[in-house]
Structure 1
Amino acid sequence: MCDPIVFVPGLLCTKALFGPQLAAFEGRVQCTVADHTRHDGMKAIVDSILDVAPERFVLVGLSMGGYIALEMAEHAPERMTKLVLMDTTARPDRPEQTAFREALMAQARADGLGPVIDQLLPLFVDDSRLGDAALVATIRQMADDTGVDAFVRQQTAIIGRKDARPDLGDVRCPTLVVCGDRDRLTPLELSEEIAAGIPGARLEMIEGSGHLTTLEKPEAVNTVLEEFLGL
């Protein structure tokens, strides 16, 4: 029997990011999607998620959700029975990344999130999916549902996150690391670094996928998750 799953989405993403997984797991395991939009600091986000999470749970985080998951694993390791880190990094922001985020925040305040998504789409999905109207519409709708103010809070929290690499060795629960082989935003070597740092962690590469593996290659992701979680 799998413990309840808490999914944590990425930047500008909502529960729709895990739509294919929620549909596949319905009736087999309790699933919730965390709200990571109300605070502008990682510790506050972590505390707010832990306040409403089940006492013991499986934690699945993608991208920004992975940053949050790593901090949750540090603050409440006794509550996590398994950990899944998807298309993410344990590293802090580099100066050029912070500058890019600040520029996106300024653009969002001035012009809304449409132009921001225009810039992020080639980083979010593989080139072969940029013409997928349904996928692109889902990404734009998630951004609209998130809104400018929450986007600014999310980016502020991401900029202020810590370097999680020194703490990887302290993770003791079974851990799965997943990454698209064409992920440009958090390339595969960053997932390899995480998997090498966490004792016993397993790395799974999703072929033909960019950063948003759960939406780009849902069947492959579901297969990997089902096997790891025993569903």
Structure 2
Amino acid sequence: MKDYYRKVPPDLVKQFMNFRETHPLKTVVLNGITWKYLAAGDPTGKPLLLLPGALSTAESAWRTITLLEPGHYRLICPDYPAEIDSMSGLADGITGILDLEQIQTTSVVGGSYGGMLAQVFIHRYPAKVSRLVLSHTYPPDPTRVRSVEPAMRMFRMLPLFLVKKMIRDRMIGILPPRPSPELLLVSAQVRQTVDTRLTRQAALSTFLRMMEFDQQTFSPSDLAGWQGTTLVMLSEDDPTTPETLREKLINLYPGTRLHMFKGSGHASSILESEEYIKVIEEFLGNAEQGHP
């Protein structure tokens, strides 16, 4: 078996493997689709829906989950089924999971790809969201649809091993070029997940969801009746969120609180994990107490 983690410090690998062993996924069939999701933390705590990134697995958010668990949150984090090729479909399925878990309202945290899904989720189900955290993500941008279409054609035609290579390179390529142990682990996770779990259908669905997201026509007035609060976390040097998109995202959610990271690029949740969690917990705590 290929040792994907040979370059990662053994103690960090041990932490991750221990997380895998101690956090088994639940399985449920909703409308004929098999969903797997992680339910962790305090069963009596405040609900918090954590939406993972494009790797589409709950375990890819393991570090954030581990750091949030002591905070008395009831954490729900899903895998994204390959059969679902739209963000709207993911949002509908996740609502089914929340209903199954008897969660009426929840805070929602979504980073990067998960931040796109979080935006679709709140626009479809605003009554289910008490607080919204968007991290290192961007608003719908219809100009991107054309750039994704060529990739879709290639994904349908190319051998699967080349499709996997393209996706591996894309996911690892947006990480800061920093030889930190944490980033080495993320790269290993990406390689293992893409090599061993990614199907052609999953690859196509990943990009079809992005296309559907970019075709959304959100406006600042959409959530005028929503009583919740929003936190946006961005990084000054994140190549995926240029200034124009940052401004558009912030303007979509009037009254948004903004936190800017410096020097951590698209990986603030990994490279600045303590600050990242502190900002989220302070926001959720203040929102709970009604602070401005």
TM-score interval, normalised by the smaller of the two chains: 0.7 to 0.9
Cα shift at 1:86: 1.1
Which segment is superposed worse, 78-87 or 105-114?
Answer: 105-114
Cα shift at 1:133: 2.6
- 8 A contact 1:170–1:198 mirrored in 2: no
Partner of 2:233: 178
Which residue, 55, 66, 78 being the options, matches 1:23?
66
Structure with the largest fraction of helix: 1
1:88-167 matches, cutoff 5 A: 88-93=137-142, 94-99=144-149, 101-102=151-152, 105-106=155-156, 107=158, 109-123=160-174, 125-129=175-179, 132-144=183-195, 146-148=197-199, 149-164=201-216, 166-167=218-219
The higher radius of gyration belongs to: 2
Question: 1:178/1:20 Cα in 2 relative to 1: closer, same or farther (>3 Å)?
Answer: same
Question: 1:160/1:119 Cα in 2 relative to 1: closer, same or farther (>3 Å)?
Answer: same
More relative contact order, 1 or 2 (CA 8 Å, 6+ apart): 1
Q: Deviations over 1:167-203 (max 9, x none)?
A: 3433332001112222112335423321222121011
Which segments of 5 or more consecutive residues in structure 1 lack a partner in the other structure?
A: none
Cα shift at 1:20: 2.1
Cα shift at 1:100: 5.6
Aligned pairs, number:
230
Question: 1:166/1:95 Cα in 2 relative to 1: closer, same or farther (>3 Å)?
Answer: closer
Q: Which amino acid aligns with 1:46?
A: A
- 8 A contact 1:11–1:154 mirrored in 2: yes
Percent identical = 23
2:117 match: secondary structure: helix
Structure with the largest fraction of strand: 2
Partner of 2:109: 60
CA distance in 2: counterparts of 1:101 and 1:55, whole angstroms:
39
1:185-196 matches, cutoff 5 A: 185-196=240-251
Matched, 1:83 2:168: no
TM-score normalised to the size of structure 2?
A: 0.69
CA distance in 2: counterparts of 1:186 and 1:103, whole angstroms:
25
Which residue, 55, 70, 76 being the options, matches 1:12?
55
Partner of 2:30: none
Question: 1:214/1:196 Cα in 2 relative to 1: closer, same or farther (>3 Å)?
Answer: same
Question: 1:142/1:226 Cα in 2 relative to 1: closer, same or farther (>3 Å)?
Answer: farther
Partner of 2:280: 225
Question: 1:165/1:10 Cα in 2 relative to 1: closer, same or farther (>3 Å)?
Answer: same
Q: Deviations over 1:95-123 (max 9, x none)?
A: 45314642663557353524431243222
CA distance in 1: counterparts of 2:231 and 2:60, whole angstroms:
18
1:181-220 matches, cutoff 5 A: 181-220=236-275
Which segments of 5 or more consecutive residues in structure 2 lack a partner in the other structure?
A: 1-43, 287-292
Q: Which amino acid aligns with 1:222?
A: I
CA distance in 2: counterparts of 1:34 and 1:177, whole angstroms:
22
Partner of 1:44: 89
- 8 A contact 1:108–1:116 mirrored in 2: no
Question: 1:105/1:129 Cα in 2 relative to 1: closer, same or farther (>3 Å)?
Answer: farther
Question: 1:138/1:108 Cα in 2 relative to 1: closer, same or farther (>3 Å)?
Answer: farther
1:210 match: secondary structure: coil
CA distance in 1: counterparts of 2:242 and 2:197, whole angstroms:
25
